[in-house]
A and B are shown apart, each in its own frame.
Chain A
Amino acid sequence: MSNNIDAPAPAVEQAIDPRLLVREQGFSGYISEFKRKIRGGELGSLPVIIGLIVIWAAFAASNGNFLSASNFEYIAYYMVGIGTLSIGLVFVLLLGEIDLSVGSVSGLSAAIFAVLSVTHGVNLWLATIAALATGAVIGAIHGFVFAKIGVPAFVVTLAGFLGWNGLMLWLLGDTGTINLPDTGLIHLFGGNSFFLNGDIAGAYILAGVGVAALLFSSLGEQGRRRSAKVPFRPTSEIVLRTVVLAIAAFGSAYVLNLHKGVPNNLVFFLAALIICDFVLRRTSYGRKIFAVGGNIEASRRAGINVAAIRISVYAISGFFAALGGLVISATISSANQGGSDPNNLMMAIAAAVIGGTSLFGGRGKVWSALLGMLVIESINAGLFMLGEAQSVQYMITGGVLLAAVVVDSLSRRTQKSSGRA
C-alpha cells in the first residue's frame, strides 16, 4: 500500500529518503512487500491457511473419503454454531479481554427459546427475539460489572459461566430435554434448509455476488484514492486478490453443489461475518474497539467513552452467544442440558485465536471465526471418520490451540522487536 509516496508535493524540500518503504510497481513489489510483512511478524491468515492445507492433506492421505463433497458439507454445516459464538469472542478479544460465559449463555438462550415456544406456546419469532435479547442483556450486565465496578472480566464471566449454566438447568427442569419443532428460525438453521432449496444456481449466485462485491469495492476505492493522490492498490494486486477469492468461492460452491447445496445457516454465518467486518473496519465504533484494545488510556484521552465500548462489546458477545445457542439447538433439534457444554466455549475461543485474532488485544479480524472453525471442524470430522474417540479429538484440538497461541505470542514478539507492536 505504500507505493506512490510522491503523492502530495510537500511544502518543504523533501528528497526521497532511501529508507522509505517504497514498493516497486507491480508483481515483484507485491512479493517483496509480502516478505517484509512476514519477517516483521505480520503473519495475518498465513499460518492458518497453511495449517488447513496440512490438515486436509493428512486426513486425505489416511482416509479417501475425507475429501468428499458430503464431508465438506458436514464441515460447513457444523462449524456455524460454534463459529457464531466465536464472532462475539473476536470482538471481546480485540479489546484484549475474554468472555468465558458464551457457552453458558448459548445454552441458556436455547433453553429460553424452547421453554417459551414449546412449553408456553409463545410465538416463534417472539421467543427468538426474547432469547437473543436475553443474551445481549446478560452480556451488557457482564460488561457493566467489568467496566463500571472494575471486576476483572475473567472473574465476571467465570461467574456468568457457572450462574447462567445453573439457570439453564433450572429452566429445563427434570426432563432436561425439550425437542424443537422444525419451523421458523430453527428450520432455517437446521439441516434440511438450503439456499434456494439447494438449487445449483444458488451456490454460484452467492459466489458470484461475493466476488463481484470485492472486485467493485476494490476498484471503487482505487479510483477514489487515485483521484485523491494517496497511495492505492495496484490493479495487479486487486486482480490477484479477486482471482484468489473467486477460486475459493466458486470451488466451495462447486463442492457443496455436488452434495446438497449451501446450507442456509452458512449463508447467515457469512452474512454475519460481512456485517461485523464492516462494523469493525469501516465505522468509527469499530475503530474505537481497536483503539481501546491498543491503549486504554490513550483512548480515554482521545475522548472515547471506554466504559460504553466495553459494555457494548460484551453485549455483542452475549448476543452472538445467544444466536449461536439457537443455531446449535437447531442442528440437534432440541434444547438440552448439554447446551452449555464447556467444550463449545473452548472451541469458540480456540477458533478465534487459531484464525489469527490476537489474545493481546487490538489485532484481529472477524474472519478468524470462519478460518478457525474450518480448522477445528476439519479436525473433528477427520478424526470422526478415522473412528477416533472424543478423547483424541480433544487432545488434538488442544494441541492446535496451543500451537495457535504460540504463533500469536511469537509473532507479537517479532512485531515488538521489529517495532510493530
Chain B
Amino acid sequence: MLPDPVRGGFGVPGPGKFVFRIPVCARDGAATHPRHRVVKELVYVTSAPVLALRGVSKRFGAVQVLTDVELEVHAGEVVALVGDNGAGKSTLVKTIAGVHPIDDGVIEWEGRSVSINRPQDAQHLGVATVYQDLALCDNLDVVNNLYLGRELKRRGTLDEVTMEQKAQELLSTLSIRIPSVRIPVASLSGGQRQVVAIARSLIGDPKVVILDEPTAALGVEQTAQVLDLVERLRERGLGVILISHNMVDVRAVADRVAVLRLGKNNGTFPVHGTTQETIIAAITGATDNAVTRRQSRTAEATK
C-alpha cells in the first residue's frame, strides 16, 4: 500500500509501520561524533509488541507451573489465552500483573526489558488486570472499589462526588443494573461483582488489559456487552489478553489464540483459518495421543 500523504501517515496492513531509523552503520561509531550528521533511512519495521514474554518460568515450591512461556501482544490486538484447568493461565496473568514475580525469563514492554516485581510496577507500565477471583474489597462500596488505589482528589481530600458520577457512567455503558453504587460489593450478585471488576480495569489509562475469565459468571446480555467492550478496547489501540474457556467467545473477538498446556506453550493460532478442532486438540493435547504416536512411528519406519 502507498503512503497516504493526506493523513501524513502510512497506512499499512498488519502490525507494522514506516519509521525513520538510524542505519546500523551510522549507529556503530560513525555517528557518535557530534559533528557527523546522522543519516536516517525510511524502513518498514514490524512494531515491537507492547508486551512480550520471553522464556518465562515460574515455580511454586515443587510445582513448575510455567516453563519457558512465550507470549506477544501487540497494540490493537486481542490475544486469547486458552488451556485446560490448571494449565497455568491465571499464574501467567499474575506474573504479568506483578502479583507473582517471574523466576526466569524476560518481560518486554514496548521492546524494552522491564522487571515487574510488584503490582505497582505493572500499573505504572499500563497493565490493568481483571483477576479470576476478582480481588474486590467486600467491605467497600462499588465506587470505592472502582477507584481503589487511584482515588480522585479535590483539594487533597477524596472527591466522592466525581468518583460516584463517573462510576455510574462507566457501569451504565456495561449495561449492568446495580441497586446502588454506594452499597458494599458483598451484597452484589456474582455477575454484578464481575462487572465491577471489569469496570475497574478501565479506570486509569491502561495500554494492556488482561481479562481472566471475565464472562464466567455473566448472563447473555452482559457477556455480549463485555465482548463488545473487548472490541472497543482493540479499536482504541489497546492490547488485550482474554482468557476464556468458551471457544465461541474466543473466536468471536480474538485475533490470535495462544494455547497453554501443562505450563508450556502449545501453539499459537490465528483465529481466521484455524478450525476449532485444531485449537481444542492443542488444548487437550490430542495431538499427543496413542493414535498420533503410532502414526509418527509408522511415518518414521517408512522413511
Chain A residues near B (Cβ < 8 Å)? 1-2, 5, 7-8, 10-12, 14, 17, 19-21, 40, 221, 224-225, 228-231, 282-284, 287-288, 290-291, 293-295, 297-305, 361-363, 415, 418-421
Contacts and interface: CB of A to CB of B under 8 A. Distances in A.
- Give me the 6 closest cross-chain CB pairs, A-B, nearest first: A10-B172, A302-B149, A362-B139, A294-B139, A294-B137, A298-B135
B136 A1 contact: no
28 contacts: A10-B173, A11-B172, A12-B175, A40-B187, A225-B161, A225-B164, A228-B164, A231-B182, A282-B157, A283-B157, A283-B158, A284-B151, A287-B148, A287-B158, A290-B144, A291-B137, A291-B144, A294-B138, A295-B135, A298-B137, A298-B148, A301-B135, A302-B148, A304-B148, A304-B149, A362-B138, A362-B139, A420-B187
A21 B164 contact: no
Nearest to B164: A230
B165 A8 contact: yes
Given A282-B157, A362-B138, A421-B186, 15 more contacts: A2-B179, A2-B180, A2-B182, A8-B168, A12-B175, A14-B177, A224-B161, A284-B153, A291-B148, A293-B139, A295-B135, A300-B119, A303-B123, A303-B149, A419-B187
B53 to A, nearest CB: 19
Interface string B150-167: 110100111001101100
Contacts of A8: 165, 168-169, 172
B258 interface: no
B298 to A, nearest CB: 51
B254 interface: no
Interface in B80-130: 97, 99, 118-120, 123, 129
A228 B172 contact: no
A290 B137 contact: yes
Given A224-B161, A418-B187, A299 B148 contact: yes
A17 to B, nearest CB: 5
B131 to A, nearest CB: 7
Contacts of B164: 225, 228, 230
B140 interface: yes
B132 to A, nearest CB: 12
Contact of B179 (A7, A21, A363): A21
B280 interface: no
Interface of B: 97, 99, 118-120, 123, 129, 131, 135-140, 144, 148-151, 153, 156-158, 161-162, 164-165, 168-169, 172-173, 175, 177, 179-180, 182-184, 186-188
Nearest to B189: A419
Given A14-B177, A21-B179, A303 B186 contact: no
Given A10-B172, A420-B186, A295 B149 contact: no
A295 B137 contact: yes
A420 B184 CA distance: 6
Contacts of A362: 137-140
Contacts of A221: 161
Contact of B140 (A20, A291, A415): A291
B141 to A, nearest CB: 10
B165 A230 contact: yes
Contacts of B157: 282-283
Contact of B161 (A10, A228, A284, A302): A228
A282 B187 CA distance: 23
A408 to B, nearest CB: 14
Which of A294, A299, A301 counts the most chain B CB atoms within 10 A? A301
Contacts of A294: 137-140
Contacts of B158: 282-284, 287
Nearest to B98: A301
A290 B179 contact: no
A32 to B, nearest CB: 14
A12 B172 contact: yes
Contacts of B149: 288, 299, 302-304
Which of B118, B149, B182, B188 counts the most chain A CB atoms within 10 A? B149
Contact of B139 (A20, A288, A363): A363
Contact of B131 (A21, A301, A305, A361): A301
Contacts of B150: 303
A238 B129 CA distance: 40
Nearest to A298: B135
Which of B97, B131, B165, B188 counts the most chain A CB atoms within 10 A? B165
Contacts of A7: 168
A1 B181 CA distance: 10
Given A12-B172, A290-B140, A298-B135, A419 B186 contact: yes
Contacts of B162: 228
A197 to B, nearest CB: 35
Contacts of B99: 300-301
Contacts of A283: 156-158
Contacts of B118: 303
Contacts of A421: 138-139, 184, 186
B180 A5 contact: yes
A287 B139 CA distance: 11
Nearest to B197: A298
Nearest to A225: B161
A221 B159 CA distance: 11
Contacts of A224: 161
Contacts of B172: 8, 10-12, 14
A289 B21 CA distance: 50
A303 B121 CA distance: 9
Contacts of A297: 135
A346 B167 CA distance: 42
A415 B119 contact: no
Nearest to A7: B168
Contacts of B140: 287, 290-291, 294, 362
Contacts of A305: 120
Contact of A295 (B120, B136, B179): B136
A352 to B, nearest CB: 17
Contacts of B180: 1-2, 5, 20-21, 231
Nearest to A292: B137
B137 A299 contact: yes
